[in-house]
């Protein structure tokens, strides 16, 4: 009966019920129908292009469009002025991410980085970083600036931090710091779909726990799942890199809003757990 206790927990059956083969089969069918079908996971946005996005990189030697360059510098300067860090100058403004490489898609952002030495602001580098991250989050939340349909995501980067990128372009200097090279990528689509579908199904189950009023269990499950996803992605990046099964499965979750749903479920579970009904 220990096995049925686990079954009862999963399918919300009472342990006082004597399990029958019909009941087990019916629940199994329901369980299978609720799972995300790996074949339904869309990976079309991960295809690699054979040229850079010509809306951006349409100048000789694949340099940045001058109008876009000017606009990005205005955005960077306006944001930097809002930080109110006195007379400390930044060292560069860079354009990085998938739009500065061959793996751009409709989900890409214009990743705009402002580089400076955080120690020029204050010796307490961690506090400086927290301040910049908070201001970045506020700016990105308040503004919806788009270049050629792609959202501009701004970030302040310490020049002492390592930064791996396929492509890195100095918007300030108008030149490539690291020009991307085209490589045709063959990734494990079958395993990406399976891993992503499994994680999507687990997010669905967190939401189901909330619907069932099991708020404490849902919050713990959400925490555990968020940490699992974080470790999964880190492992993939550390071993294989950007095209690892783990990293691409993570991107599937992000592009299908499952990561946002997971964070939302965690907040809802916490709020519901601490609320009192009238």
* Domains in the chain: boundaries: 20-43+186-274, 60-178
- What's the pLDDT at 167? 92
- What's the pLDDT at 18? 57
Mean pLDDT taken over the chain: 85
- What's the pLDDT at 189? 82
- What's the pLDDT at 30? 44
CB 132 within 8 A of CB 121: no
Separation CA 54–CA 151 (nearest Å): 17
Rounded mean pLDDT of 214-235? 93
Tell me the HSE value of 164 on the side-chain side, using a 13 A CA sphere: 4
pLDDT tens by residue, 261-278: 999 999 999 999 999 876
Whether 40 has a pLDDT exceeding 80, the answer reads no
Whether 17 has a pLDDT exceeding 60, the answer reads no
> Model confidence at 64, in pLDDT bands (50, 70, 90)?
very high
Residue with tokens 């000017």: 70
**DSSP-derived pairing of the beta strands 110-116 and 150-158:** parallel
Q: Which residue has the higher pLDDT, 5 or 243?
A: 243
Give the predicted TM-score (pTM) of the model.
0.67
Best-predicted range by mean pLDDT among 10-19, 205-214, 233-242? 205-214
- What's the pLDDT at 107? 82
Separation CA 66–CA 64 (nearest Å): 6
- b/e code 134-152 from CB counts within 10 Å (16+ = b): ebbeebbeeeebebeebeb
The residues near 161 (Cβ < 8 Å, ≥ 6 apart) are: none
Give the residue among 121, 123, 145, 143 at the shortest CA–CA distance from 132.
121
Task: Give the DSSP H or E segment for 75.
Answer: helix 66-83
- The tokens for 228 are 């699992």
Torsion angles phi and psi, residue 265, rounded to 5 = -65, -40
pLDDT tens by residue, 167-220: 999 999 999 999 998 876 777 888 888 888 999 999 999 999 999 999 999 999
Rounded mean pLDDT of 103-126? 92
Q: Of 41-45, 62-66, 166-170, which gets the smallest average pLDDT?
A: 41-45
Helix pair angle (215-239, 189-211), 10° resolution: 160
The residues near 69 (Cβ < 8 Å, ≥ 6 apart) are: 171, 174
Give the residue among 236, 86, 235, 112 at the shortest CA–CA distance from 169.
112
Whether 24 has a pLDDT exceeding 70, the answer reads no
Fold exhibited by the domain 60-178: Beta Polymerase; domain 2 (3.30.460)
Rounded mean pLDDT of 148-160? 93
């Amino acid at each position: 009966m220990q096995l049925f206790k686990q079954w009862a927990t999963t399918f919300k059956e009472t342990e006082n019920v004597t399990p029958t083969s019909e009941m087990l089969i019916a629940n199994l069918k329901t369980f299978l129908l609720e799972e995300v079908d790996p074949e339904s996971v869309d990976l079309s946005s991960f295809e690699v292009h054979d040229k850079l996005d010509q809306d951006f990189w349409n100048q000789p030697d694949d340099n940045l469009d001058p109008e876009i360059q000017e606009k990005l510098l205005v955005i960077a300067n306006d944001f930097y002025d809002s930080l109110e860090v006195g007379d400390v100058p930044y060292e560069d403004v860079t354009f990085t991410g998938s739009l500065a490489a061959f793996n751009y898609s409709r989900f890409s952002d214009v990743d705009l980085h402002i580089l400076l030495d955080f120690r020029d602001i204050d010796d307490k580098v961690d506090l400086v970083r927290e301040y910049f991250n908070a201001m970045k989050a506020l700016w990105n939340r308040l503004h919806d600036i788009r270049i050629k349909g792609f959202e501009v995501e701004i970030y302040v980067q310490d020049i002492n931090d390592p930064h791996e990128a396929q492509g890195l372009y100095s918007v300030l200097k108008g030149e490539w710091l690291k020009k991307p090279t085209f490589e045709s990528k063959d990734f494990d689509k079958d395993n990406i779909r399976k891993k992503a579908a499994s994680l999507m199904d687990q997010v669905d189950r967190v939401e189901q726990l909330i619907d069932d009023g099991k708020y404490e269990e849902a919050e713990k499950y959400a925490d555990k799942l968020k940490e699992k996803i974080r470790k999964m992605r880190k492992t993939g990046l550390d071993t294989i890199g950007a095209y690892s099964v783990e990293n691409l499965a993570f991107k599937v979750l992000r592009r299908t809003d499952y990561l946002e749903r997971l964070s939302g479920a965690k907040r809802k579970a916490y709020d519901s757990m601490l609320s009192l009904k009238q």
